[in-house]
Homo-oligomer: A and B are copies of this chain.
């Protein structure tokens, strides 16, 4: 570990190869205007010196930093982990560095937006699931670089997200098709200031009920902090103490769904015999619990976001308002079952009359 040996510079390589620094620069950037013989000499010299171009110096003159800034509120989630695991290699393959900003709380957030450290230090910014204020959005607009919103829709700005409305619509239809008529909806509330597509999903749920000719009963919509046992039990309690309790619950995150299943089992309610449970995400835990769910693919989101970034960096004049909307699909597993009772369960009977089976 030689403590302070200086890195070789282009001048060192040039000297060793007996050429000018311009030629070294041209060679190393793969410009075709270098004779094969000289190119070979330069490459050998560079290898022998273990030379690496300083991005700092290059940036200074090209004006491009060669890095993409990524803003996340946490990494400690399956969603972020998967999305970034897809994004990272994609950017690297394009020769870009990935600069990560983890902004877990509002204090950090304030300081981030005040200083905007990414400014001047990245060619583009990826914002994951931030519920931005108008002022914050405005600051990002003035950043002087493309800003891509991921896992959230922002009007007039490039964004990549799954169609949550359609996902929730389809999930709810699945439950309707199983004969359920009293279907509860559990929203997962996250840390304040961050968005978790909850409202879009609620929209899809309502849409499904409406198209089935069912009334919207606000008592059936409850909320819980994500993955909070007590909160989920409480939410469940509200539902189970209704005059007319639901026969199915649609939880907006698999982790909440799983917590709900455990709470139900604790009180000896069988899932799905006495209560169907449907999740959203297809989180790994869904498979572990044989949980029926609406799957989305964070990998695809990460990949699409990366490709969009590349496009925008390459050609900033591209239409900035384009959106990439990704699909979701229902995965029926063991926690959703036909509503027991006199009704015959038939597919696509969504429009049938309301007969609460209880």
Contacts and interface: CB of A to CB of B under 8 A. Distances in A.
26 contacts: A1-B320, A2-B144, A7-B119, A52-B115, A52-B117, A52-B119, A52-B120, A53-B120, A54-B120, A54-B121, A55-B121, A56-B65, A56-B120, A67-B99, A75-B80, A75-B88, A77-B81, A87-B102, A89-B108, A97-B117, A97-B121, A98-B100, A99-B99, A100-B100, A227-B284, A262-B288
A326 B59 CA distance: 40
A179 to B, nearest CB: 28
Contacts of A276: none
Contacts of A60: 54, 56-57, 60
Given A142-B2, A258-B288, A288-B285, A75 B65 contact: no
A44 interface: no
B116 A316 contact: no
Contacts of A1: 141, 320
Nearest to A77: B81
- Chain A interface size, as a band, is 35 or more
A56 B63 CA distance: 10
Nearest to A288: B258
A203 B103 CA distance: 39
Contacts of A121: 54-56, 97
A33 interface: no
Nearest to A156: B1
A78 B80 CA distance: 11
Interface string A29-61: 000000000000000000000101111110110
Contact of A89 (B98, B99, B102, B144): B102
Closest 6 CB pairs of A and B: A88-B102, A76-B81, A56-B59, A52-B119, A75-B81, A76-B85
Contact of A7 (B59, B108, B120, B285): B120
Q: How many copies does the complex hold?
A: 2
Nearest to A90: B102
Interface of A: 1-5, 7, 50, 52-57, 59-60, 65, 67, 74-78, 80-82, 84-85, 87-89, 92, 97-104, 108, 112, 115-117, 119-121, 141-142, 144, 227, 258-259, 262, 284-285, 288, 316-317, 320
Which of A65, A67, A88, A101 has the most CB atoms of chain B within a 10 A radius of its CB?
Answer: A88
Which of A54, A76, A316 has the most CB atoms of chain B within a 10 A radius of its CB?
Answer: A76
Nearest to A102: B88
Contacts of A78: 76
A88 B101 contact: yes
Contacts of A57: 56, 60
Nearest to A258: B288
Nearest to A61: B56
A302 to B, nearest CB: 10
Which of A65, A75, A77 has the most CB atoms of chain B within a 10 A radius of its CB?
Answer: A75
A3 B56 contact: no
A153 to B, nearest CB: 17
Contacts of A320: 1
